[in-house]
C-alpha cells in the first residue's frame, strides 16, 4: 500500500494512539506558550519600557527578546535532545514541559525588559527540547507506513495551540478594552501559560520508553546521544549539517518574518482605530488639551509620566503642528529645560538628527499655535483631558489586541492545513520536491503579505495563505529529520537540525528589528518600516532551495539503524 493511503490509522493500537495524543499535546502546549509570546511581546516591551508601541526602540528590543528566546530554544534543544537519547524520551519530556510552562508564567511578573528577556531565554530551553523528544518518540513507536502521517498530524495539531493562545489574547484584550482587567492584558496572558505543566503528571505516570530506544540503549558498541559519534561519521555529519541549514531557512522565515505579521497588523489596525477616533471629534479635544497643557509645563511633565510616551496623538497629519510642539516640549522637559513658547520655537528652529530646521512657513504656523496656547480661554480641565486620553488609548489598545489575535487565528488555521497537506503531498512527490514547492510558496506569500496587506479584507485571505505556506515547511521537518538518523542518535540529530539552526535563526528577529529601527525608518521616508524590513528578509527562503540540491531523498525507506 502507498504511505498516502487514507487508512493508515487502522494499523494503530490503543497505545499507539495514546503516545500520539500525549506527544501531540506536549507540542500543542509548547506552541501555545510560543504564540502567547508572539502576541504579547510588543505590548509587554512597550509597557516595561514605558513608551508607545510605535516607538522605534520597541521594535528593536522586541527583536532582541525574540532572538534570546531562539537562543534559549537552540540551547535547550541540544541539551534535552542529548538527554532524550541518553535517559529516555518520556523522562526528558517531563523536564521540557515543566521548563516552558513555569517560565512562561513568570514572564507575566516581569518588572523590566531585562528580566522579561531572561524569562524568555529560560522558556526557550524547554520549548527547544520538546520537539526533538516528541517526534523521536512518535517515529519509533509508530508502524513504518503510519509514521509520516502520524508525524504530520502531530505537527498540524500544534496550530491548535497557537489558535488557543490567540483566543486567550482576544478574551484578555476585550477585558482590557472594557477596563475590567487590572494591569496590562499581556501579564494575564503569560500567567495562563503555566497550565500545561499539568501534562507532565500524565507523562510521568503512563508513558513508556519505545522498544527501539531500549534496544539501542543496551547496545554497548555505540554511545547513545553522542555528538562525537554524530560528527565522527561522515554520513551522519553531512545529514546533520544539511538538516540544520534547511531548518534555519524555515525558522528565520517564521520567527524573523512570519510571526511579525502580527506586529505589522497591530500597526495597521492602530492606525484605523485612531482614524475612527479622529472622526468622532477627538481631534479638537486633543487640540484643546495641548493648548491647556502648554500653559502648564509642570503638569505637562506629570502627563508624560502618566502616559509614558511622546506619541500621544497618533499619526494624523491634520494635527501635525500640535504633535510637533507637544513632542518638542517633552524633549525640553527630558533635558531639564524650561518649557516656554520661546524655548520651544528656538529648539524647533535648529536641525536635530534627521529633522531639518523649520522653514519660515512652519515657523509662522507653529508660532501662531503657541500664541493660541498663551491666549486660550477656558477649556476642560487637564485631569479630565488626561483621563479621556488614557481611556481612549486603553480602548484602542484592546481593539488592536483583539485584531492581533484574529491575525494569529487566521495564520494558524492556514498552518494546520499547510502542515497536513505537506504530509500527503510528500507521499506522492517525495521529500525534496515537496520542500522545494513549499519554499517557493512561502517566499511569494510572505513577500506579498508584507508589501500589500493594508486593511481587514487583506488580512482575511493573505494571513491564512502565508500561514499555510510557511508552516507547511515545519510539517516537512517533523517527517524528514527523524528519517535521517539511527535510533541511538535520532533525538540528538533531530534536535541538532531543528535547534542549532535556531542559533543562526536568532539573527533573524534582531535583523528585522534593526532594519525597522535604523534602515527603513520614517525619517527616511518609509511610513511603515516593518513592511520593507520583512520584504527584504524574504530572500532567506532561497537558502532552503539551494540546500535541497544536496539533501537525500528518504521517501519509502525504513528508519536507518
Give, for 190, the enclosing helix (H) or strand (E). helix 185-192
**pLDDT of amino acid 384:** 67
Find all residues with CB under 8 Å of 510, minimum gap 6, and list them: 63, 64, 66, 67
pLDDT tens profile 46-55: 888 877 676 7
Query: Rounded mean pLDDT of 275-283?
Result: 64
Rounded to whole angstroms, the maximal C-alpha distance in the chain is: 91
- Please answer whether residues 401 and 176 qualify as being in contact, where contact means their C-beta atoms are separated by less than 8 angstroms: yes
**pLDDT of amino acid 3:** 44
- Please answer whether residues 101 and 197 qualify as being in contact, where contact means their C-beta atoms are separated by less than 8 angstroms: yes
**pLDDT of amino acid 278:** 61
Q: What are phi and psi of 310, to 5 degrees?
A: -80, -25
Say how far apart CA 82 and CA 375 lie, in whole Å. Answer: 73
pLDDT tens profile 476-507: 998 899 889 888 888 788 878 877 767 776 77
DSSP strands (E only) in 114-170: none
Other Cβ atoms less than 10 A from the Cβ of 6: the count is 9
**pLDDT of amino acid 290:** 60
Say how far apart CA 58 and CA 525 lie, in whole Å. Answer: 19
- Please answer whether residues 249 and 504 qualify as being in contact, where contact means their C-beta atoms are separated by less than 8 angstroms: no
pLDDT tens profile 302-347: 555 544 444 444 443 333 445 555 566 656 655 656 555 556 556 6
Find all residues with CB under 8 Å of 526, minimum gap 6, and list them: 520, 532
- First-last CA distance in the chain: 23
Say how far apart CA 435 and CA 474 lie, in whole Å. Answer: 10
Q: What is the pTM of this model?
A: 0.65
For the ranges 24-28, 396-400, 556-560, which has the lowest average pLDDT? 396-400
Checking if the pLDDT of 177 tops 80, the result is no
For the ranges 158-172, 266-280, 289-303, 428-442, which has the lowest average pLDDT? 289-303
Query: Rounded mean pLDDT of 289-313?
Result: 52
- Band (pLDDT 50/70/90 cuts) for residue 213 is confident
Mean pLDDT comparison of 167-176, 220-229, 450-459, highest-scoring range: 450-459
Give me the helices (H) in 193-295, please. Answer: 199-206, 211-218, 227-232, 234-251, 261-277, 283-294
Say how far apart CA 37 and CA 311 lie, in whole Å. Answer: 24
Q: How many residues are given for the chain? A: 561
Say how far apart CA 508 and CA 450 lie, in whole Å. Answer: 16
Residue % of the chain over a pLDDT of 70? 71
Checking if the pLDDT of 143 tops 60, the result is yes
Checking if the pLDDT of 353 tops 60, the result is no
Q: Which of 322, 310, 311 is nearest to 283 (CA)?
A: 322
Other Cβ atoms less than 10 A from the Cβ of 5: the count is 13
- Please answer whether residues 170 and 402 qualify as being in contact, where contact means their C-beta atoms are separated by less than 8 angstroms: yes
Number of H helices, E strands in the chain: 24, 0
Q: Which of 115, 85, 87, 91 is nearest to 103 (CA)?
A: 115
pLDDT tens profile 76-132: 888 888 888 888 888 888 888 888 888 888 888 888 889 999 998 988 888 877 877
Checking if the pLDDT of 391 tops 50, the result is yes
**pLDDT of amino acid 436:** 95
Listed by start position, the domains of the chain span: 8-269+389-548, 296-375
Residue with the three cell numbers 490509522: 9
Burial state string for 542-560 with b = 16 or more CB within 10 A and e = fewer than 16: ebbeebbeebeebbeeebb
DSSP-based helix, strand, coil % in the chain, nearest 5: 80, 0, 20
- Band (pLDDT 50/70/90 cuts) for residue 440 is very high
Protein fold of 8-269+389-548: Growth Hormone; Chain: A; (1.20.1250)
Distances (CA, A) of 20 to 12, 134, 287: 10, 9, 61
Burial state string for 118-137 with b = 16 or more CB within 10 A and e = fewer than 16: bbbbbbbbbbbbbbbbbbbb
Q: Which of 472, 475, 312, 297 is nearest to 385 (CA)?
A: 312
- Please answer whether residues 266 and 302 qualify as being in contact, where contact means their C-beta atoms are separated by less than 8 angstroms: no
The beta-carbon contacts of 318-325 under 8 Å, at least 24 apart in sequence, are 318/278, 318/283, 319/283, 319/286, 319/287, 321/365, 321/366, 321/369, 322/286, 322/287, 322/290, 322/369, 324/348, 324/366, 325/290, 325/294, 325/366, 325/369, 325/370
For the ranges 128-142, 197-211, 268-282, 336-350, which has the lowest average pLDDT? 336-350
Checking if the pLDDT of 461 tops 60, the result is yes
Residue % of the chain over a pLDDT of 90? 11
Other Cβ atoms less than 10 A from the Cβ of 246: the count is 27
**pLDDT of amino acid 464:** 92
**pLDDT of amino acid 501:** 67
Amino acid at each position: 500500500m502507498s504511505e498516502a493511503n487514507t487508512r493508515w490509522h487502522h494499523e494503530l493500537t490503543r497505545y499507539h494512539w495514546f503516545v500520539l495524543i500525549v506527544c501531540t499535546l506536549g507540542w500543542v502546549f509548547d506552541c501555545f506558550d510560543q504564540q502567547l509570546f508572539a502576541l504579547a511581546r510588543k505590548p509587554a516591551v512597550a509597557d516595561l519600557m514605558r513608551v508607545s508601541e510605535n516607538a522605534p526602540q520597541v521594535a528593536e528590543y522586541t527583536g532582541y527578546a525574540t532572538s534570546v528566546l531562539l537562543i534559549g530554544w537552540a540551547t535547550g534543544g541540544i541539551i534535552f535532545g542529548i538527554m532524550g537519547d541518553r535517559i529516555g524520551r518520556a523522562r526528558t519530556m517531563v523536564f521540557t514541559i515543566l521548563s516552558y510552562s513555569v517560565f512562561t508564567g513568570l514572564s507575566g511578573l516581569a518588572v523590566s525588559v531585562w528580566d522579561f528577556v531572561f524569562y524568555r531565554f529560560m522558556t526557550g530551553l524547554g520549548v527547544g527540547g520538546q520537539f526533538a523528544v516528541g517526534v523521536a518518540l512518535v517515529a519509533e513507536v509508530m508502524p513504518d507506513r503510519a509514521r509520516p502521517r502520524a508525524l504530520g498530524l502531530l505537527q498540524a495539531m500544534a496550530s491548535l495551540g497557537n489558535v488557543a493562545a490567540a483566543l486567550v489574547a482576544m478574551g484578555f484584550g476585550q477585558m482590557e478594552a472594557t477596563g475590567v482587567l487590572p494591569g496590562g492584558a499581556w501579564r494575564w496572558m503569560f500567567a495562563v501559560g503555566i497550565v500545561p505543566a499539568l501534562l507532565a503528571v500524565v507523562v510521568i505516570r503512563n508513558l513508556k520508553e519505545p522498544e527501539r530506544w531500549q534496544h539501542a540503549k543496551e547496545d554497548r558498541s555505540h554511545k547513545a546521544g553522542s555528538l562525537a559519534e554524530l560528527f565522527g561519521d561522515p554520513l551522519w555529519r553531512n545529514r546533520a549539517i544539511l538538516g540544520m541549514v534547511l531548518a534555519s531557512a524555515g525558522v528565520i522565515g517564521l520567527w524573523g518574518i512570519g510571526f511579525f505579521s502580527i506586529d505589522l497588523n497591530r500597526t495597521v489596525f492602530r492606525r484605523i482605530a485612531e482614524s475612527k477616533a479622529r472622526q468622532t471629534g477627538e481631534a479638537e479635544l486633543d487640540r484643546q488639551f495641548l493648548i491647556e497643557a502648554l500653559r502648564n509645563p509642570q503638569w505637562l511633565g506629570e502627563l508624560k509620566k502618566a502616559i509614558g510616551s511622546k506619541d500621544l496623538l497618533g499619526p494624523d497629519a491634520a494635527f501635525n503642528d500640535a504633535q510637533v510642539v507637544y513632542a518638542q516640549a517633552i524633549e525640553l522637559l527630558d533635558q531639564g529645560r524650561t518649557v516656554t513658547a520661546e524655548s520651544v520655537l528656538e529648539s524647533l528652529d535648529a536641525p536635530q538628527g534627521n529633522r531639518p530646521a523649520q522653514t519660515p512657513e512652519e515657523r509662522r504656523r507653529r508660532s501662531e499655535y503657541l500664541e493660541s496656547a498663551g491666549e486660550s480661554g477656558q477649556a476642560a480641565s487637564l485631569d479630565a483631558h488626561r483621563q479621556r486620553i488614557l481611556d481612549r488609548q486603553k480602548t484602542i489598545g484592546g481593539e488592536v489586541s483583539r485584531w492581533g489575535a484574529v491575525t494569529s487565528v487566521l495564520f494558524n488555521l492556514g498552518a494546520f492545513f499547510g502542515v497536513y497537506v505537506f504530509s500527503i503531498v510528500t507521499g506522492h512527490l517525495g521529500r525534496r520536491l515537496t520542500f522545494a514547492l513549499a519554499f517557493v510558496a512561502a517566499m511569494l506569500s510572505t513577500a506579498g503579505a508584507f508589501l500589500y496587506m493594508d486593511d481587514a479584507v487583506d488580512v482575511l485571505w493573505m494571513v491564512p495563505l502565508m500561514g499555510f505556506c510557511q508552516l507547511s515547511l515545519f510539517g516537512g521537518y517533523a517527517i524528514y529529520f527523524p528519517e535521517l538518523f539511527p535510533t541511538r542518535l535520532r533525538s540528538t540529530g533531530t534536535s541538532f537540525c531543528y535547534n542549532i539552526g535556531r542559533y543562526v535563526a536568532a539573527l533573524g528577529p534582531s535583523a528585522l528589528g534593526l532594519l525597522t529601527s535604523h534602515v527603513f525608518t520614517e525619517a527616511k521616508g518609509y511610513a511603515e518600516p516593518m513592511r520593507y524590513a520583512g520584504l527584504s528578509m524574504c530572500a532567506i527562503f532561497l537558502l532552503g532551495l539551494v540546500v535541497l540540491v544536496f539533501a537525500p531523498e528518504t521517501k519509502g525507506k525504513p528508519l536507518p539503524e
